[in-house]
């Protein structure tokens, strides 16, 4: 023991990181590159993905990736910035999809109207049905968000409404694959940067305050339930857009939009990509969706993969990929003797 040299890893913020925190960010090209490079890599990477995709199949994968990314962003926002652990992916996708399908099929609205209508009406409906759970603390919100899609699925099948088990077919399709891809990628990028801005605004501090210390928010004369509802609405908007988009991508809406996969996948993607970073959940999707597609041959065994990945990240690497990357990018590390 006595002659053992103890060492610890010392982390120091890089000078360029500290400078870019302030107005000095515009002091030279070096600082500006430091800020711009990661953002450009993400934006250019995403926007060039459709060009790289070898065939129509992979282009569709990009569309699906966008939908999962929206769900994961919404999950990360709700659970790590507002403190509402949401398993509502299936609910949002399903409600948004059916709403948009109804608008298109029964009311004959064109896509340009049915997608926005489906998104908005779906988000309002989701917020309303989740409203009773919002004043509660704890796991109730997660349970209810998870239970609703299962319930709606059974109800649609049993009552044989909205197309029953077959779903509503013959909806207008988005058609052009390039338009489809860039539409969803545009929304994903807008949501990512929009949410990142939102959580650092003054209203974002209220959202984060609800997670950190909801009693102090009440003591500040702010209605917690109202802000939770607002956060759910934002997250539901993104999810319902995903649902409405999927509906018109396939020209079909059915009970498979209420699938549990939509609820669970965001959880895994966020754990892999790095919780409470927002962009992390997007990166998680970029990694997991293609892997998941490559392994499609394994069928149901893929769920084992998800589970193993989730267990590994939660047990051994809880910071996730992006938090690790940020640390490497912004700080220098070396060993020092204690």
Partner 1 sequence: MNKDLLLRVENLNRSFGGVKAVRSMNFDLFRGDILGIIGPNGSGKTTLLNLITGFIAKDSGKVTYASREITHWPAHKIADAGLVRTFQVVRPYSSFATYKNLIPPLFSPRNRRTARGRLGDRDAVAIDILEEVGFERESAVIHKLAGTLPLGYLKRLELARCLAMTPELLCCDEVFSGLSMAEIASMVPLLERLRRNGITLIMVEHRLRELFKIANRLIVLNFGEKIADGIPQEVMKKDEVRKAYLGEEFAL
Chain residues in the site for partner 1 (CB under 8 A): 202-203, 205-206, 208-209, 212-213, 215-224
Buried b (16+ CB within 10 A) or exposed e, 282-308: bbbbbebbeebeeeeeeeeebeeebee
- State in angstroms the smallest separation of the CB of 135 from partner 1: 10
209 or 266: whose CB is closer to partner 1? 209
- Sole residue written with tokens 């509660």: 136
- State in angstroms the smallest separation of the CB of 227 from partner 1: 10
Query: What are the residues facing 334 on neighbouring strands?
Result: 10
28 or 213: whose CB is closer to partner 1? 213
Query: What are the residues facing 335 on neighbouring strands?
Result: 9
- State in angstroms the smallest separation of the CB of 210 from partner 1: 9
* Residue 78 DSSP SS3: helix
Return d(Cα 150, Cα 155) in angstroms, integer. Answer: 9
18 or 303: whose CB is closer to partner 1? 18
207 or 262: whose CB is closer to partner 1? 207
2 or 221: whose CB is closer to partner 1? 221
Alpha helices in the chain (DSSP H): 15-20, 29-52, 56-77, 89-105, 111-130, 140-159, 177-200, 202-212, 214-219, 224-250, 261-273, 279-294, 302-316, 320-330
- State in angstroms the smallest separation of the CB of 337 from partner 1: 26
The string of DSSP codes covering 85-99 is ----HHHHHHHHHHH
- State in angstroms the smallest separation of the CB of 220 from partner 1: 4
Return d(Cα 95, Cα 240) in angstroms, integer. Answer: 7
Q: Which residues, 6 or more positions from 66, have their beta carbon under 8 angstroms from its beta carbon?
A: 181, 184, 185, 187, 188, 242, 245
39 or 327: whose CB is closer to partner 1? 327
Return d(Cα 144, Cα 122) in angstroms, integer. Answer: 17
- State in angstroms the smallest separation of the CB of 82 from partner 1: 13
Query: What are the residues facing 333 on neighbouring strands?
Result: 11
138 or 221: whose CB is closer to partner 1? 221
3 or 215: whose CB is closer to partner 1? 215
- State in angstroms the smallest separation of the CB of 131 from partner 1: 16
Write out the two tokens for 189: 């990028």
- State in angstroms the smallest separation of the CB of 66 from partner 1: 30
Write out the two tokens for 150: 């299962």
């Amino acid at each position: 023991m006595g002659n053992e040299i103890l060492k610890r890893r010392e982390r120091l913020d890089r000078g360029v990181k500290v400078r870019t925190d302030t107005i000095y960010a515009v002091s030279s090209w070096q600082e500006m590159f430091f800020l711009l490079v990661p953002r450009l890599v993400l934006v250019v990477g995403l926007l060039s993905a459709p060009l790289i995709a070898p065939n129509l199949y992979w282009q569709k994968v990009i569309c699906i990736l966008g939908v999962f990314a929206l769900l994961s962003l919404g999950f990360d926002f709700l659970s790590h910035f507002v403190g509402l652990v949401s398993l509502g992916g299936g609910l949002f996708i399903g409600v948004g999809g059916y709403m948009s399908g109804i608008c298109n099929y029964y009311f004959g609205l064109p896509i340009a109207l049915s997608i926005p209508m489906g998104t908005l009406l779906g988000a309002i409906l989701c917020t309303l049905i989740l409203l009773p759970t919002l004043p509660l603390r704890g796991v109730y919100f997660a349970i209810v968000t998870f239970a609703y899609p299962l319930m709606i699925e059974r109800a649609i099948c049993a009552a044989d409404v909205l197309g029953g088990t077959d779903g509503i077919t013959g909806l207008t399709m988005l058609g052009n694959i390039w338009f489809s891809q860039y539409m969803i990628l545009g929304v994903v990028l807008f949501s990512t940067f929009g949410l990142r801005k939102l959580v650092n605004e003054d209203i974002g501090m209220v959202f984060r305050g609800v997670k950190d210390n909801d009693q102090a928010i009440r003591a500040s004369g702010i209605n917690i339930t109202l802000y939770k509802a607002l956060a759910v609405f934002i997250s539901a908007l993104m999810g319902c857009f995903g649902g409405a988009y999927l509906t018109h991508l396939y020209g079909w809406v059915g009970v498979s939009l209420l699938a549990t996969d939509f609820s669970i996948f965001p959880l895994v993607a966020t754990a892999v990509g790095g919780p409470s970073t927002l962009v992390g959940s997007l990166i998680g999707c970029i990694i997991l969706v293609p892997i998941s597609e490559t392994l499609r041959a394994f069928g149901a065994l893929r769920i084992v993969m998800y589970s193993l990945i989730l267990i590994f990240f939660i047990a051994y690497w809880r910071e996730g990929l992006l938090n690790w990357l940020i640390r490497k990018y912004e700080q220098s590390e070396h060993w020092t003797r204690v």
